[in-house]
Amino acid sequence: MAFEQDSISWGVDEISLLFPRPKTGTMALIEGSRQCSLRLIIEMLCEEISLDNPVYWIDGGMSLDPSALVRPLSIRKIPTNRIELLRACRAFTAHQMVDLLRRLGEEIQNYANRSKLRLVVVTNLTKMFSDRQVNRAESRAMLRECLDIIQMLSKNMNLLFVLTLVESDTTRNQRETTDKIRKLADDRITIKSWIEGDIVATHDILDLITSPMTASSFSSTLLDFYTADHSSSVVCTPPPFNRVSSVMPNGESIDNEARSASAL
């Protein structure tokens, strides 16, 4: 069954106005610090809620905090009771994460407002599969199943799945899993910094970058002046006297000319 893909806002104007908006039926990846990536996720969730659309949040890294949505919703002048549109769950182990994703399709099918559902967020997926207590081969197999489920649900149910990767995930096992996710992502952005309203982010697939605009007071420099506009067209002028000073001093020349004039 063919679906019409919807474009979904990144939740922040500085990013949505420059980067292409992710579409339903695809998977997007947000990388950066835990604080920055989580902040963008919350803005995306709140933007969907402001449109009266339900959202899903599956957390695998102890990031789930529904109260974090209250302030962004208030800024959008959305009643805080609309947070009921958020359906959230947390996985504490890799096996729980796999089980949650296995049951997600059925959960969405039974959800009364499923027709308006467009966004599903999965935070810190790789955390679940870097546990040393989990056999490496089993960990890879479970991650592969999770990614297969995500791709299948995104296409079959026309959903946008947004995953996060924290930049501190540097172990060898985590690097292997993050590389797999990067290859599958249809959109990838990395948030370099986010200080108050200033965001520095890159779109890793399209090689785009957004950086904060800074206002500076006007001041003139030498670069503001151009030779053609400000230089005289006369480069040099002849000396004011006809005789060369080495032959007769200028003072004597003037005296002799004065005497000659008075004698006439």
Assess whether pLDDT exceeds 90 at residue 119.
yes
Going by C-alpha positions, the residue among 181, 170, 175, 100 that lies closest to residue 143 is 181
pLDDT, averaged across the chain: 81
Assess whether pLDDT exceeds 50 at residue 127.
yes
Average pLDDT over residues 79-99: 92
51 half-sphere exposure, CB direction, 13 A CA radius:
16
When pLDDT is cut at 50, 70 and 90, the band that residue 70 belongs to is very high
Output the pLDDT for position 207.
74
When pLDDT is cut at 50, 70 and 90, the band that residue 198 belongs to is confident
Interior/surface letters 195-208, b for 16+ CB within 10 angstroms, e for the rest:
eeeebbbbbbeeee
Q: What number of other Cβ atoms are within 10 A of residue 106's Cβ?
A: 9
Q: What is the pLDDT of residues 236-262, one digit of tens each?
A: 445 444 444 444 455 555 555 555 555
67 burial type by CB count under 10 A (0-12 exposed, 13-18 middle, 19+ buried): exposed
CA dihedral 122, 124, 126, 131 (to 10 degrees): -120
Output the pLDDT for position 132.
77
Output the pLDDT for position 214.
41
**Contact predicate 121/89, CB 8 Å:** no
For the chain, helix, strand, coil in percent to 5 are 45, 20, 40
Could you give the CA distance from residue 12 to residue 128 in angstroms, rounded to a whole number?
A: 29
When pLDDT is cut at 50, 70 and 90, the band that residue 24 belongs to is very high
pTM equals 0.76
Answer positive or negative: Cα dihedral of 19, 22, 23, 26: positive
Could you give the CA distance from residue 60 to residue 58 in angstroms, rounded to a whole number?
A: 7
When pLDDT is cut at 50, 70 and 90, the band that residue 208 belongs to is confident
Distance between the two ends of the chain, CA-based, in angstroms? 116
Range from 51-65, 93-107, 179-193, 237-251 carrying the lowest mean pLDDT: 237-251
Assess whether pLDDT exceeds 70 at residue 172.
no
Give start and end residues of each alpha helix (H) in 88-134. 94-110
Assess whether pLDDT exceeds 50 at residue 157.
yes
Output the pLDDT for position 213.
44
**Contact predicate 42/226, CB 8 Å:** no
191 burial type by CB count under 10 A (0-12 exposed, 13-18 middle, 19+ buried): buried
Could you give the CA distance from residue 220 to residue 242 in angstroms, rounded to a whole number?
A: 43
Strands (E), 85-226: 86-90, 119-123, 160-166, 187-195, 198-203, 208-210
> What domains, with CATH codes, occur in the chain?
13-210 (3.40.50.300), 222-257 (no CATH)
